[in-house]
A and B are shown apart, each in its own frame.
Chain A
Amino acid sequence: MRYSAYSIFKEALSGNRMWKPAWREPQPKPHYDVIIVGGGGHGLATAYYLAKEFGITNVAVLEKGYLGSGNVGRNTTIIRSNYLLEGNNPFYEFSLKLWEGLERDFNYNAMVSQRGILNLFHSDGQRDAHARKGNGMRIHGVDAELLDREQVRRKAPYLNFDHARFPIMGALYQKRAGTVRHDAVAWGYGRGADARGVDLIQHCEVTGIRRENGLVVGVETTRGFIGCNKLALAAAGNTTTVGRMADLELPIETHVLQAFVSEGLKPVVDHVITYGAGHFYISQSDKGGLVFGAEIDFYSSYAQRGNLQTVEHTMEEGVSLIPGLSRAKVLRSWGGVMDMSMDGSPIIDRTPIDNLYLNCGWCYGGFKATPASGFCFAHLIAKNETHHVSRFMRLDRFERGYTIDEAGRGPQPNLH
């Protein structure tokens, strides 16, 4: 079924009883051309683009929980392409361009809202760093604007401009950045893939990878053995666990990142605001809740829950930036497990096993990358060639000395 204003009107007149499920619940077939492990944003986007752009439809997505039950349903929904390095910027800009046309492309309302992002700065040195990043973006043809204190004040008058430790001097502004309804991204991609013949198989956990003569022949799952010609991993925080089944050695540590949402309020925060000096960022959902978070909890964790120390720290930083936040009530907090890579950048690459493909290392920035990650991964799987915007995101870059260290923090995954 194609969604449109007409279909909503028509279904309303018939009491909304005619809506069909958005995707099938197929039984696994004995063999597929491509199996994708992980039914999150990246796995579903990969399946969608494999079918739509590269004509490969004999595909299964295996998900151990339900579709979108991992980080695509747990993030803070921000999209942006304000990256400095050549290995990152064109990739994230490609992603942002895909976001801009996404809803028309997959016929689903993902509530893409380009409300702009403000990266605040508080010192001359930080301003220089932001100016450099903005210039780097503009060299790549991406919009970026350096705002002074008064320009920021006009956009966000509620900020604590005279903060004792970090007075606000200005911000780097990317107007095309924004937020997206995250669950709808998973649903839209899933529905689009399903409509093109991809089997989305939920509650099917991969327990082993079967290899013969050095090639993958299929996966053992909780629903039996399923054969494949090519196997693609998009398992986020569980990448190491799945990769170990194929003896992959990965530059990944798993960490937990928390996020928070307040009670619904009237519109107050019109942009996405990041406060790097205080490790805090915030936006407001269309439902009115303030969505915010800070850094990871710093210790290795596979638990999808965080520590109170980080909760307290996040609240302190939030109130110090937006004093009025102290009057809002926090409704919920949650945690997701992140595949933190050793340079803070992702991996979309082949592996030492010829028909095994890897998509991982998204740290806590994977949501904004969903469309480009799916597109580039599908390109790699279909053509066995790297897409040019993801050509730096290689698995062997650490060994060869070509890390993409956007933050310049070295091989310390809990600091990226």
Chain B
Amino acid sequence: MASLITCPHCGTRPKEEFSIRGAAAPKRPSPTAKDEAWHRYVYVRDNPKGRYEEYWHHEAGCRRFLVVERDNLTHEVFGVTDAAEFKRGGAAE
């Protein structure tokens, strides 16, 4: 994993300042969605090898949740966006 993460708010910071929440790809279903949709959201993971979007929390900085897009095999970081700006593409059914 890269040693430096460029936070959109704080600039380039050591990765020790961040804690990791997990996959950013699952989309939160609507509260009235069927159990099956909630099961998939909570438990099922694509777990791809390669390009990966992951929630990182800038715990020792701005304390914003960020989405770090990176390669989980080569550890190359492609980009960091604020989670609020991360395009969710709307809630799943």
Contact = CB atoms under 8 A, between A and B. Distances in A.
A413 B40 contact: no
Interface string B1-30: 101000000000001100111110000000
A370 interface: no
A37 interface: no
22 contacts: A240-B46, A240-B48, A251-B43, A251-B45, A252-B45, A254-B47, A254-B72, A298-B20, A299-B20, A299-B72, A300-B47, A300-B72, A307-B1, A307-B15, A309-B3, A342-B43, A398-B39, A398-B42, A399-B35, A399-B39, A412-B22, A414-B20
Interface centre among B15, B23, B36, B72 (most CB of A within 10 A): B72
Interface in B37-65: 39-40, 42-49, 52, 54
Given A253-B45, A300-B47, A342-B42, 4 more contacts: A251-B44, A252-B45, A299-B1, A303-B73
Given A300-B54, A302-B72, A303-B73, A250 B20 contact: no
Given A302-B73, A413-B22, A241 B49 contact: yes
Contacts of B49: 240-241, 254, 302
Given A253-B22, A309-B15, A309-B16, A300 B52 contact: yes
Contacts of A307: 1, 3, 15
B44 A303 contact: no
A128 interface: no
A8 to B, nearest CB: 44
Contacts of A264: none
A199 interface: no
Interface residues of B, number: 27
Contact of B40 (A240, A249, A252, A414): A249
B54 A299 contact: yes
A297 interface: yes
Given A302-B73, A303-B73, A398 B43 contact: yes
Contacts of B46: 240
Contacts of B35: 399
A413 B45 CA distance: 10
A297 B42 contact: no
B88 interface: no
A399 B44 CA distance: 10
Nearest to A306: B1
A299 B48 CA distance: 13
Nearest to A249: B44
Interface string A360-402: 0000000000000000000000000000000000000011000
A250 B72 contact: no
Nearest to A343: B43
A197 interface: no
A253 B23 contact: yes
Given A241-B49, A253-B22, A301 B72 contact: yes
B56 to A, nearest CB: 8
A288 interface: no
Contacts of A398: 39, 42-43
A320 to B, nearest CB: 18
A399 B3 CA distance: 37
A303 B40 contact: no
A301 B47 contact: no
A92 to B, nearest CB: 23
B29 to A, nearest CB: 14
Interface centre among A240, A398, A399, A411 (most CB of B within 10 A): A399
A101 to B, nearest CB: 37
Contacts of B52: 300
A240 B39 contact: no
Contacts of B74: 303
A372 to B, nearest CB: 24
Interface centre among B23, B47, B52, B54 (most CB of A within 10 A): B47
A413 B40 CA distance: 15
A13 interface: no
Contact of A399 (B20, B43, B73): B43
